[in-house]
Amino acid sequence: MSIISDSLKRIKPSPTIAVTQKARELRAAGKDVIGLGAGEPDFDTPDNIKKAAIKAIKSGDTKYTAVDGTPALKKAIIRKFKRENKLNFSLDQITVGTGGKQVLYNTFMATLNKGDEVIIPAPFWVSYPDMVLLAGGKPKIVKCTEQDGFKLTAQKLKKAITKKTKWLILNSPSNPTGAGYSKKEIQDLAKVLVRKKKIFILSDDIYEHVRYDNFKFFTIAQLPKLKERTLTMNGVSKSYAMTGWRIGYAAGPTDIIKAIRKIQSQSTSNPSSISQAAAVEALNGNQGFIKKRANAFKKRRNFVVKSLNAIKGITCLTPNGAFYVFPSCKRLLNKKTKFKTDTDFVKKLLEKSNVAVVQGSAFGLDGFFRISYATSMKNLKKAMDRIKAFCESLI
């Protein structure tokens, strides 16, 4: 008899974390590996945020806080939603967790019963289905094609809904594709959802501020008819380069927020008091650097997309946001290359060219791979040269 629970048999380790760890191990072994798997900004946390954390430490702000966030941080989050999204929330509609990932996990643990379905558009962030499975739910994967810009259409949404559907997950801009939903596209989805009053929407807005080409961010809670059925998740990790600080938050219906608090009270309890103080400064302080960093990411995006589309056998759409591209390697999966899957492709790319990327199948769509361009232009130039040489050696 195994001591390991049956629920763990339903899930797998995070593929993106596995790729990043593999790259670290190879570098430690002396290999010149370029890791393009990590989903975190390479910029440092701004100094004003660091200083706020140091001040909190010196002031003795090192004790337990309220389970789901300090009043100061909740008020800063409320101001953020009003200032940037024209959304009004009260303190009892806000929850703060140890990263956005915990907020999502808590949500599913607090709301899903066995057999409840969660519609997840693919390509998806790797953790969504496994979180649903751990909570006893059933992921309903809806594949979104390259022709549709990797985005869910109203027609596909309508077809995916059943009597067991409880949640729809929307992630815009998206991990892994960088695709962003326009206001019109969200309104089209809303027309379907308004009629399905038992379905809730989980809007993952973590890449809200990493967007390009005048793409206008719009979140589904801004539609009055759906606000009461929407949990809007965000955090400080991507916009403020605070991945290691582990602060995520969400706003939504009070009954869901209360249930999340109950789950968190029996798991991690409160997030770090120091990280919360830093997050207050992040949300209330100077926001000017965000656009400057987005512009830096845009230059990298343009370089990577142009470079990939110049490689024989590779095609790549231009994303609206985030810091990922999701190129197709389908033309290189054939008898000549002996690659049957995108996993074969990325494995050999790492072995032969020392470039670490993540296979598209990990995100629910075969024949693609994800590149994170949250690294230096020097690394990106070397990586693109290596990918080009590798791919053209196959043809």
pLDDT at 64: 98
pLDDT at 158: 98
200-204 and 230-235: which strand pairing?
parallel
Q: Which residues of the chain have pLDDT under 70?
A: none
Q: Can you tell me the distance from the alpha carbon of 383 to that of 356, in angstroms, rounded to the nearest whole number?
A: 9
**Contact in structure between 290 and 239 (CB atoms under 8 Å):** yes
pLDDT tens-digit series, residues 34-75: 999 888 999 999 999 999 999 999 999 999 999 999 999 999
pLDDT at 119: 98
Instruction: State both tokens at 281.
Output: 């400064």
Query: What's the burial of 9, exposed, middle or buried (CB within 10 Å: 0-12/13-18/19+)?
Result: exposed
Q: Can you tell me the distance from the alpha carbon of 188 to that of 46, in angstroms, rounded to the nearest whole number?
A: 38
Contacts for 22 with CB less than 8 Å, ≥ 6 apart: 350, 356
Quickly count: other Cβ atoms within 10 Å of residue 377's Cβ.
Answer: 13
What is the C-alpha end-to-end distance of the chain, expressed in Å?
A: 51
Domain 6-44+289-394: assigned CATH number: 3.90.1150.10
248-251 and 230-235: which strand pairing?
antiparallel
pLDDT at 30: 87
Q: Can you tell me the distance from the alpha carbon of 363 to that of 386, in angstroms, rounded to the nearest whole number?
A: 24
Q: Can you tell me the distance from the alpha carbon of 392 to that of 395, in angstroms, rounded to the nearest whole number?
A: 5
pLDDT at 24: 82
Domain extent listing, the chain? 6-44+289-394, 63-284
**Contact in structure between 357 and 345 (CB atoms under 8 Å):** no
Beta bridge partners of 169: 202
**Contact in structure between 335 and 95 (CB atoms under 8 Å):** no
Fold exhibited by the domain 63-284? Aspartate Aminotransferase; domain 2 (3.40.640)
pLDDT at 252: 98
Contacts for 3 with CB less than 8 Å, ≥ 6 apart: none
pLDDT at 113: 97
Q: Can you tell me the distance from the alpha carbon of 274 to that of 110, in angstroms, rounded to the nearest whole number?
A: 27
**Contact in structure between 193 and 203 (CB atoms under 8 Å):** no
